[in-house]
Chains A and B, each alone.
Chain A
């Protein structure tokens, strides 16, 4: 437009002067190279040789560098890792793949695919491809040595574990001899083999009841274990055929398991007692608690009474350990309540209580005041 206008001006057809539109103006900055050298202008470094070191589809070994970069131009993908200066290197031998990951659409990744034809990233829901990488030791001598090799942790723990195993074995062998005499007394005549089977069964039940299984659970588990071991023996060929397996199984079920289940039981302390059904146990529990309430509540407890209370509470096979502890806290308190006759001294001077009287101050909830009692020796349950 402005050119047309200026032409029009020149031709003199119009006399108006154009003011609003400025002419084109290109600013030019000339080189201003300093003539003399300066202190800060000599900082150019050599190139850092950044960039990919291997390319798509190339084979790499573990540790081989795939990419050198400043920052993460490319992120480490599958089977690769990133170094301190963002160098990406291979973790597994395989083929280099540059790819995009749909979970991070703005990133570029480089990964190592374990086989030539496997694309990356691996589909999200399909199994990972993994390399085993360990070589078998063929030479028997070396293999044996390697198998015997212990980590430091295992080496240090070995003596303690061995000692514990020995202690357990000693405990169990003691139990075996103990059970053997008791069981042969209870069951009468039986062959040595059968007696050993029963003793082993009771020892196993004892072990299971130590980890909190009920007597019925433990009985079923021990039967199952025995039959399972028989089956493994059959599979190994140590039992001739299926028939002898079945006869052995029947023998165990009839003569050992079913014959003793309803007669013998053992508790977690290793005491053998006559088996009681859960219903019988409930009845017995109620009986014992009633007896404790009738005979020993509100009365002075001497050493003799204490022993019979303990005997009642610890009757084998009746109460669980927790229940026993609870009953002990109820029926064998350290100090008897003031309501028990004969535990309170009638006349006593709180300042000089005299021999055999202990002054006790107790807050009374009813009257909201602290009362002072003189307790006789009988108020305190004897400690053994």
Chain B
């Protein structure tokens, strides 16, 4: 212990004084180190009494900070015990273990490392997603809120079963439209949000976060469908395909399909199976759902091109290409004052206009004449 001149307990241990497993980066990844070196001394060696903890911004608050009583003895005891346990787990890892078993052990060995915990809490966007322990904490965070919210929206807005029969979510799917210059629309979109047409008039950025270890060059398919396109012949709805990406290689850390990738001509040629076309709901055609589905391609590359048929059958497409649905997202749109401009940009004809009042005409079964 540093003998301090006054009664502030100081922490005195850590990397520079220990040669044990959590200070050894010859076998462990460098990304398990503290990301922001500013906090390194505070966390592992002790808080400088003249400066206070770096995590507090205001100078007077810093100087007023006191550590809990006997924090050093407790921290040291706990740190050494946990580090010892971690070393025991690392000793079990060898080449004979399967990938899943190795990942499980790696999580176990690092899950109480203070540096790892500090990183996941304070720099969640910068962590290395190739490390199983970080993915474990990301998954916990996702399951505690975002997964529930997204499933709630998918069920209550009947994305399930109007598009795909059901979903067992395996990945976190995030969507944003980064061309927007208004903060309201440029951030990640909460599932179910109603967006104006101008906010979606360029292709979205999609983040697909896998939590299990992903094999190199795993392929993914992303489909954006609108199950609410009016079908006046039958007085029902049909499903139109608005955007399709196929054979997209993704990994745990390389998990975003966004502007940078779409700028690349080769990527666009190889993977954009259907050019993006935003939803342009017509006046009084009510709210329409843009349902974005993410699939794992379980049987390799998709070779068949997507047909131009009027009514896209997403279930049939998924089955015939043996696609496994692993995540989904939804936003909604309705007619607004920017729809006409977006239609013009995309060279679409003027939208139809419907009566404001819903009529009592029955559904006309497909293949029958208009006489009921």
Q: Which residues of A contact B (CB under 8 A)?
A: 59, 61-62, 93-94, 114-117, 124-137, 143-144, 146-147, 149, 204, 207-208, 210-213, 217, 220-221, 223-225, 227-229, 232, 235-237, 326, 329-330, 333, 365-366
B88 adjacent to chain A (CB < 8 Å)? no
| CB closest chain-A residue, reference B166 | A125
Residues A116 and B181 in contact, CB atoms below 8 Å apart? no
B2 adjacent to chain A (CB < 8 Å)? no
Contacts of B286 in A (CB 8 A): 134
B2 to chain A, nearest CB (A): 16
Please classify the interface of chain B as helix (H, G, I), strand (E, B), loop, or mixed, using the class held by over half of its residues: loop
> Can you list 5 A-B pairs with a CB-CB distance of less than 8 A?
A93-B362, A135-B359, A146-B283, A213-B186, A365-B63
Q: What's the Cα separation between A272 and B27 when bound, in Å?
A: 46
B353 adjacent to chain A (CB < 8 Å)? yes
| CB closest chain-A residue, reference B231 | A132
Mask for B260-287, Cβ within 8 A of A = 1, else 0?
Answer: 1011000000000000000000011110
Q: Contact residue range for chain B?
A: 35 or more
Residues A131 and B180 in contact, CB atoms below 8 Å apart? no
Residues A137 and B354 in contact, CB atoms below 8 Å apart? yes
Contact of B230 among A125, A134, A137 (CB under 8 A): A134
Contacts of A143 in B (CB 8 A): 352-353
Given contacts A127-B161, A134-B358, A146-B353, contact A210 B263 (CB under 8 A): no
Residues A131 and B179 in contact, CB atoms below 8 Å apart? no
Contact of B365 among A117, A149, A223 (CB under 8 A): A117
Contact of A94 among B5, B57, B230, B362 (CB under 8 A): B362
Contacts of A144 in B (CB 8 A): 353
Q: What's the Cα separation between A213 and B182 when bound, in Å?
A: 12
B236 adjacent to chain A (CB < 8 Å)? yes
Residues B178 and A326 in contact, CB atoms below 8 Å apart? no
Contacts of B363 in A (CB 8 A): 93-94, 114-115, 129, 131
Report the 4 A-B pairs with minimum CB-CB distance, sorted nearest first.
Answer: A125-B165, A134-B354, A143-B353, A207-B181
Contacts of A366 in B (CB 8 A): 5-6
Contact of B354 among A136, A207, A235 (CB under 8 A): A136
19 A-B pairs besides A128-B161, A134-B286, A237-B347 with CB distance below 8 A are A93-B362, A125-B165, A126-B165, A127-B162, A127-B227, A128-B158, A129-B236, A131-B363, A132-B236, A134-B285, A135-B361, A211-B186, A212-B186, A223-B263, A224-B179, A326-B57, A329-B58, A366-B5, A366-B6
Q: What's the Cα separation between A235 and B63 when bound, in Å?
A: 64
| CB closest chain-B residue, reference A61 | B360
Q: What's the Cα separation between A62 and B355 when bound, in Å?
A: 18
Q: What's the Cα separation between A137 and B163 when bound, in Å?
A: 29
Mask for B346-358, Cβ within 8 A of A = 1, else 0?
Answer: 1100001111101
Residues A227 and B263 in contact, CB atoms below 8 Å apart? yes
B180 to chain A, nearest CB (A): 7
Given contacts A93-B362, A128-B162, A131-B362, contact A228 B181 (CB under 8 A): no
B217 to chain A, nearest CB (A): 24
Contact of A232 among B347, B360, B361 (CB under 8 A): B347
Q: What's the Cα separation between A143 and B346 when bound, in Å?
A: 22
Residues A137 and B353 in contact, CB atoms below 8 Å apart? yes
Q: What's the Cα separation between A337 and B203 when bound, in Å?
A: 54
Contacts of B180 in A (CB 8 A): 211
B235 adjacent to chain A (CB < 8 Å)? yes
Q: What's the Cα separation between A208 and B178 when bound, in Å?
A: 8
| CB closest chain-B residue, reference A337 | B59
Contacts of A135 in B (CB 8 A): 354-355, 359, 361
Given contacts A116-B365, A127-B227, contact A210 B181 (CB under 8 A): yes
Residues A365 and B354 in contact, CB atoms below 8 Å apart? no
Contacts of B166 in A (CB 8 A): 125
Q: What's the Cα separation between A116 and B338 when bound, in Å?
A: 40
| CB closest chain-B residue, reference A117 | B365
Given contacts A146-B353, A217-B178, A326-B57, contact A236 B360 (CB under 8 A): no
Q: What's the Cα separation between A330 and B347 when bound, in Å?
A: 55
B309 adjacent to chain A (CB < 8 Å)? no
B345 adjacent to chain A (CB < 8 Å)? yes
Contacts of B215 in A (CB 8 A): none
Contact of B353 among A133, A136, A235, A236 (CB under 8 A): A136
B48 adjacent to chain A (CB < 8 Å)? no
Q: What's the Cα separation between A326 and B346 when bound, in Å?
A: 46
Contacts of A125 in B (CB 8 A): 161, 165-166
| CB closest chain-A residue, reference B352 | A136
B259 adjacent to chain A (CB < 8 Å)? yes
Contacts of B235 in A (CB 8 A): 131-133
A299 to chain B, nearest CB (A): 16
B287 to chain A, nearest CB (A): 13
| CB closest chain-A residue, reference B263 | A224
Q: What's the Cα separation between A130 and B236 when bound, in Å?
A: 6
Q: What's the Cα separation between A244 and B59 when bound, in Å?
A: 60
Given contacts A129-B236, A132-B235, contact A213 B346 (CB under 8 A): no
Q: What's the Cα separation between A207 and B181 when bound, in Å?
A: 6
Contacts of B359 in A (CB 8 A): 133-135
B232 adjacent to chain A (CB < 8 Å)? yes
Contacts of A211 in B (CB 8 A): 180-183, 186
Residues A224 and B262 in contact, CB atoms below 8 Å apart? yes
Contacts of B147 in A (CB 8 A): none
| CB closest chain-B residue, reference A126 | B161
Mask for B62-102, Cβ within 8 A of A = 1, else 0?
Answer: 01000000000000000000000000000000000000000
Of residues 39 to 60 in B, which have CB atoms within 8 Å of A's CB atoms?
Answer: 57-59
Contacts of B142 in A (CB 8 A): none
Given contacts A225-B202, A329-B59, contact A232 B181 (CB under 8 A): no
Contacts of A224 in B (CB 8 A): 179, 202, 259, 262-263
Residues B179 and A221 in contact, CB atoms below 8 Å apart? yes
Contacts of B356 in A (CB 8 A): 146, 149
A378 to chain B, nearest CB (A): 18
Residues A124 and B161 in contact, CB atoms below 8 Å apart? yes
| CB closest chain-A residue, reference B5 | A366
| CB closest chain-A residue, reference B355 | A135
B317 adjacent to chain A (CB < 8 Å)? no
B25 adjacent to chain A (CB < 8 Å)? no
Contacts of A210 in B (CB 8 A): 181
Q: What's the Cα separation between A236 and B237 when bound, in Å?
A: 28
Contacts of A227 in B (CB 8 A): 263
| CB closest chain-A residue, reference B66 | A365
Contact of B57 among A117, A208, A235, A329 (CB under 8 A): A329
* Most A C-beta atoms less than 10 A away, residue of B58, B182, B354: B354
